[in-house]
Structure 1
Amino acid sequence: MSLLSRFSMLLRHCLVASLIGVPAAFAASPAVVVENPKEVHAIVVGVDQYQHLARLKGAAADARDIETSLRAMGVQDVTALYDDKADRDSILKNVDDLSARIRPGDLVILSIAGHGAQEPERVKGSEADGKDAVFLLAGFDTAGAGTRQRILDKEFNHLIKAFESRGARVLFVADTCSGGGLAREVDPRGSEMIYRSVPTYAISDDELKPVSTPSDAFATELDFTRTIFLAAVDKNSKAPEIKVPGVDGYRGALSYALARALEGAADANGDGKITIEELFAYVRQVTYQLSDQRQTIVSASAPRLDVNTEPVVELSRSVTFVTPPGSAPSAVAANIALGGAARATPAGSLPPFPPQRPLRVAVLDGSSAQLADVTPLESRFEAVAPNQNPELIWDPKSGDVISGGDVIAREVGKDELPGVIDRAAAVRALKQMAARSVQPILLLPDNKVHHLGSQVEVAIDQLSNRSLLLFNLAGDGTVQLLYPQNESEAELMNKPEYRLPIKVRGPFGADQIVAITAPERMPQLEQALGKLNARRTAGQLVRILSQYADAGMRLGSVGVFTAP
C-alpha cells in the first residue's frame, strides 16, 4: 500500500478542495525521518555570489533546501557552505574531516550547486572530447590566486574514493553544467534565462594544484563500488535556473527534486525505503517537468549495486506534515520519534495548501494599461512590467504569448487572454501536484520545437493494472479529452505502456499533455473531464481535480511545442 493510500482519509478531511488549493491525493506527504540519522552525513555547497562571473539566483537556495530537508529528517551531521564560505580550502578540509569520522555503511551526501565550465584536459586521453568539467567557486578568476577557486571533476572522483575507502556509500549531486547545448531554443522576447555555465576562458598563472591523481582522471562509474551520481544535464548541455511554482525566486530543478525525494516523495511503493531506482525515476521525471523539458538529468550507479533493491535511505513515518511542495521548507516538529508508527491526527490539524498567487502578466511593449479591461475567467492575474519577472508576456503586435522562453499560443487577441492565463495557472498547479505523486511521461523523439507535419509521440509508462486518463491543455486554454474514448478503454490497463502518436498541425504554440493514473477506475473524474472537453475550461481543471482526486493517483504532464 502506498504512503498516499495510508493517509488518504486524513488528507481528504484536512485539506480544502478549491481552485486555489491542491487536491488531497497530491498534497504534502506525511513527514518522514531517517531511520538511522547518525549514519547519514552531508556536505552541501551552493554558490550564487561570484566575484568575477555572472551571479546566479538559485544555487544557494538549492543548498539551503537540501540542508533544511535533511535536518528536518533528523540528520545532524550536515555541513552547509554558501557563497564565499564555500572556498576550495574549506570544502577540502570538510571532506577530510568527514572522511575521518564516517563508518562503514554510512551514507555521505555530497551536493554542489553553482557555475560549471570546461577546460582542456589535464591528463591527455582521459576525456573523449579532450575537456575536463570544472566546478567554479565564488572567488574564481582566470589569473593569479583566483585560479585556485575551482574543483576539477577528477578531484571529485578522488574525494568520493576517499569516502568509499572508509566503507561509506556516497550520493553525489551536481546541480551545475559545463556545456552550451539547448534542448530547445529560447524566444528572446521572454524573460532572460539564467544558466549555470560560463563561456570558455583561458587560464594564466594557474595556481591550482589538484588533489587528484592520473588514475582518478580515467575513473568512471565502473571504478566505484558504493556511489550513485546525479547530474543536472549531460556534459554538453546547459542547465537553466527555473521558477518552481509556489517558490519565490529561482531554483535548480535537480536540487528541488532531490529535496522532495528525500522527504519521502520518491518512495513510490510506500515501503519506507527509497531505492536507487525510485530516486532516479522520481528526480528524473520531476526535473523534466519543472524545467518544461529543457533538462534531462544524468544518473549512474556503481555496477555492483542493485538499483531495484538497494536503498539510498530508509525512512520512518511521522504524524507531522512537511510544508507542501513549492513552499519554503520548514523544520519538522521536534517531537518526532524515530521508528514511531503512523497514527491518526485529528481532522483540521493540518495546514491548508497555501493559496495560489495571481499570475504575473506583462505586455511586451510595456503598455500594461492594455490589460486593465481584461476580465479574468477563473484565474486571477496582475499586470507587471516586462522586467518584473512575468510568467506570461503578451506581444500585442503578433499575438504571441511567451512563457519561460517558449511561445505557448499564437495570434491571441486581448479578449482571448483570459483563457491563456487560465491555462498557465493550471499548468503551474499541475506541476505542484506532480511533485508529490509523479506519473512517468515523456515526449519522443526529443523536446525541440516541432514543425507542421512532423510526427511525435507521448510515452506513458508504469501503467500495468492502472486506469489512465489522458487529456490536453491547448495553448488557448481548451481542454481536450484524449483517453479513454470508449468504455473498453476505460478498463484497467493490461500493458505497462501507452503511446499517443501526434502529427503536428495548427493552431501552433504549446499543448500540455496530462496523464492521470490510479489503481482503480476513475468514472466520476472521467465524467467531469468530459464536461470540460472541447471548451476553454482550463481554469476549472484544478477545481475538478480537487473534487475527485483520490489516494493512489499519479499525475504527469509533458509539453509539445510547435510552430509552422
Structure 2
Amino acid sequence: MRPRARRVLLAVAAWLALASLPTGAAAQDLTAKNLTAQAELRNPSAVHAIVVGVDRYAGLPPLRGAVADARDIEASLRRLGVTDVAALYDEAADRDSVLKRVFDLSARVGRGDLVILSIAGHGALEPELVKGSEPDGKDAVFLLSGFSPSGPGTRQRIIDKEFNHLIKIFESRGARVVFVADSCFGGGLARSVDPRGGDVVYRSVPAYAVTDDELKPVSSAADAYASEVDFTRSIFLAAVDKSSRAPEIRSPDGEGFRGALSYAFARALEGAADADGDGVVTVDELFSYVRQAAYQLSDQRQTIVSASPPTLKAASEPVVELSRGVTVLGPPGPARVAPAQDRVTTTQDRVVTAEAAPGAPALSSQRPVRLAALDGLPEAFDGVAPREARFEVVTPRQSPELVWDRKTGDVIAAGDVVAREIAREDLPGVVDRTAAVRALKAMSARALQDVALSPDSRTHRAGAVVEAVVGDLSGRSLVLFDIAGDGALTLLYPREAGEAQAVDKAQFRLPIRVRAPFGADQLVAVTGDAPMQALAETLRRLDGRRAPAQALRAVAQNMRPDMRIGSIGVFTAP
C-alpha cells in the first residue's frame, strides 16, 4: 500500500468476479459539449404549481437556501413550458397569500391535471391539535416569515393536517398532486458535526410553546387522521422524517446553499429521473432518483421520506410525461483563469488563482473554493499557490467551504474532517479535491448512478469494515475510483489493464477495512452501457497521484449519454 495514496484504502477484503466486454469510447475535449436530450412537458398547460420559499424570518434564525430552492423549481417548470406557476418568497409567503393561491388554483384545475405544491423553509413540531391523531403526539408545522409563538404571529404557520385538507380539495377536482416539503423538525443526525467547520444550518427550530394562539386551521378532525391510504393519486416527498434533521448543503453548480430535496426534485422535473429514457417519469422513478440524489448531495446525511397511495401503480403511474428534443449540453464549462494582475493580496477575501498550462482546461467550476484558517488569520496561507482550482481566503464567519486547523492539520468541510495532518504545502490538493467533488456532484445529479455505503454513513473507526455498494448494474461496465482527502487518487476497479469492466450482477460490492490515514474519501462510480477503456487507462496512469482535477477532466472528456456517475463519502477516524 502506497503511503497516503490509498487513504481509506483501506483494505479490500474481496473482489467480485466480473465478465468482459469489448473496448469502447473515444475521449472528447472538456470544452466540447455532449449531445443529450433536453426535456419539455408534453402538455404543460395541464401542470400547475405553487412554490413557496422562506429564508427571512421575523423572530427566527434565517435560512440561506430556501428561496433559492423555490426559484430553482420555478425555473425548471418554466423551462419545461409551464406557465401557471405562483411563486411566493419570504414576506410575500404569508398565510393568507398561500391559502389564496391554493383556493384560486383549486377553482380552475381539471381532471387529470397535475398540481405541484412545494414548500421550503423552517419546520417545527408542536403538540397535536387533535388528540390521538399522531403516534408521537406531535404535529409537523411549516413556519412562515412572520411567525412568532405568541399573538398575531401565531397565524403565520401551516399545520401538516391543513395540507391534507388542501390536497383533498385538489383530488376532489380530479387533479393529481405532488407535495414537496423541504423542511425538517429536529432529531438526530447521521454523523456528528465538527464545530470547527463553521455553522451548519438546519431547517428546524428549537421547541417553543404557543400562547395566545390566533391560528384557525382550515382542516377538520377527519383531516388530522388522514394518511397516504386516504388519497388516490397524490404523492408526498419530505426532506426527512420527524425524528431527523437535514442540513442545507452547498449548491454543487452555483453560489450559495440549497436543500438537497428541492435541488434533486428540480433535476427530476427536467428529466434526470427518467431512468429508462422512455419520456415518462413514473412515481417509482421519481422516488428512486430523489432519494439517491439527496443521499449523495448531502454526503449521506439525509434520507428522503416518500409516500404514495397503496392503490397507485407506482411502477407505471406517470408523474410527468416529457417530449425530448436534442440540444447541445455538457458538463460545467472550464473555469476562467485570472491573469497575474488579478491576484489580490489584501488580508481578507483574497482570491488566488493558478496559471493553467497552455491549452489545458481548468477545473470545471467557475467559483473559487472558500478557504479559512481556524484562527482567522489570513496570513496562514501566505505562500500557498493553487494547483488548478482557485481559492478565496475568507474568515471563519464568511461561510468557508474548508477550514484548516493549522495546530492539528485537520481540514474540516461541512462539519466533517475531510483530511488530517495536512501541512500548508498540502492544501492545494485539498482545494482541488473540493472543487472536483463539487463538479462531480453537479454532473451526477443529471446522470445519476446508484451508490451507497453499508451498513451506514456514520464516521467509521479504525478496523471497521464497511461496503461500498454500486447498484442497478447488470450488464453495465464500471469504473470505480477514490479521491482521498488530500486529493490522492486510487483506481479501485478495474485494477489491471485489460481487466473486465462489465458487471453480470445487479450489485458490485467492495468491502473496505478502515485504517490510517483517516479523514474522508470520495468514492466515484462511473458506469456505462459499453466499456470505458480510455477513462480507466487515464485513471490508472494517475493512480497514487494527487490529481483530482485530472480525474474530473478524464470523466468529462469521456462522458457519453449512456453513462452515469455516483459519488459518496467514506468518513473515518482513529
Q: TM-score, normalised by structure 1?
A: 0.89
CA contact (8 A) 1:326 1:432 kept: no
Per mean C-alpha deviation after superposition, the further-off stretch among 317-326 and 425-434 is: 317-326
Q: Which residue of 1 aligns with 2:185?
A: 178
Per mean C-alpha deviation after superposition, the further-off stretch among 545-554 and 465-474 is: 545-554
Would you say 1:358 and 2:371 are equivalent positions? no
- Cα distance change, pair 272–243 in 1 and its aligned pair in 2 (3 A): same
Q: CA deviation at 1:35?
A: 0.6
Q: Which residue of 1 aligns with 2:240?
A: 233
Name the SS for the 1:514 alignment partner.
Answer: strand
Q: Which residue of 2 aligns with 1:475?
A: 485
Q: CA deviation at 1:509?
A: 0.4
Would you say 1:107 and 2:114 are equivalent positions? yes
Name the SS for the 2:216 alignment partner.
Answer: coil
Per mean C-alpha deviation after superposition, the further-off stretch among 375-384 and 178-187 is: 375-384
Q: CA deviation at 1:324?
A: 6.8
Q: Which residue of 2 aligns with 1:82?
A: 89
**Structure 2 residues not aligned, in runs of 5+:** 1-24, 335-361
Would you say 1:295 and 2:308 are equivalent positions? no
- Cα distance change, pair 165–385 in 1 and its aligned pair in 2 (3 A): same
- Cα distance change, pair 232–322 in 1 and its aligned pair in 2 (3 A): farther
Partner of residue 380 from structure 1, selected from 390, 400, 405: 390
Name the SS for the 2:197 alignment partner.
Answer: coil
Measured in 1, the distance between the counterparts of 2:169 and 2:498 equals 57
**1:315-394 correspondence to structure 2 within 5 Å:** 315-319=322-326, 355-394=365-404
Per mean C-alpha deviation after superposition, the further-off stretch among 317-326 and 535-544 is: 317-326
Would you say 1:546 and 2:559 are equivalent positions? no
Q: Which residue of 1 aligns with 2:133?
A: 126
Q: CA deviation at 1:325?
A: 7.3
Partner of residue 525 from structure 1, selected from 535, 553, 558: 535
Partner of residue 461 from structure 2, selected from 421, 429, 451: 451
Partner of residue 68 from structure 2, selected from 27, 46, 61: 61
Q: Which residue of 2 aligns with 1:165?
A: 172
Residue identity opposite 2:395 in structure 1: A
Q: CA deviation at 1:138?
A: 0.9
CA contact (8 A) 1:132 1:152 kept: yes
Residue identity opposite 1:250 in structure 2: F
CA contact (8 A) 1:439 1:517 kept: yes
Name the SS for the 2:294 alignment partner.
Answer: helix
Q: What is the identity percentage for the equivalent residue pairs of Structure 1 and Structure 2?
A: 62
Measured in 2, the distance between the counterparts of 1:109 and 1:310 equals 16
1:452-472 deviations in whole A, cap 9, x for unaligned?
112211111100110111111
Residue identity opposite 2:47 in structure 1: V
Q: CA deviation at 1:321?
A: 6.0
Partner of residue 433 from structure 2, selected from 423, 438, 452: 423
1:60-103 deviations in whole A, cap 9, x for unaligned?
11111111111121111111111121111121122111111111
CA contact (8 A) 1:398 1:411 kept: yes
Q: CA deviation at 1:322?
A: 7.6
Q: CA deviation at 1:487?
A: 6.8
- Cα distance change, pair 259–470 in 1 and its aligned pair in 2 (3 A): same
1:477-499 deviations in whole A, cap 9, x for unaligned?
11111112357852421111111
Q: Which residue of 1 aligns with 2:263?
A: 256
Would you say 1:267 and 2:277 are equivalent positions? no
Q: Which residue of 2 aligns with 1:203?
A: 210
Measured in 1, the distance between the counterparts of 2:107 and 2:332 equals 36
Would you say 1:17 and 2:27 are equivalent positions? no
1:80-139 deviations in whole A, cap 9, x for unaligned?
111121111121122111111111111000000111000011112211111110001111
CA contact (8 A) 2:70 2:120 kept: yes
Measured in 1, the distance between the counterparts of 2:37 and 2:533 equals 28
Q: Which residue of 2 aligns with 1:514?
A: 524
Measured in 2, the distance between the counterparts of 1:320 and 1:500 equals 37
Name the SS for the 2:572 alignment partner.
Answer: strand
Measured in 2, the distance between the counterparts of 1:547 and 1:158 equals 50
- Aligned pair count reads 523
Q: Which residue of 2 aligns with 1:502?
A: 512
1:214-234 deviations in whole A, cap 9, x for unaligned?
221121111111011111111
Q: CA deviation at 1:405?
A: 1.2
Measured in 1, the distance between the counterparts of 2:426 and 2:90 equals 45
- Cα distance change, pair 123–184 in 1 and its aligned pair in 2 (3 A): same
CA contact (8 A) 1:247 1:326 kept: no
Q: Which residue of 2 aligns with 1:339?
A: none
**Structure 1 residues not aligned, in runs of 5+:** 1-8, 328-351
Residue identity opposite 2:124 in structure 1: A
CA contact (8 A) 1:264 1:274 kept: yes
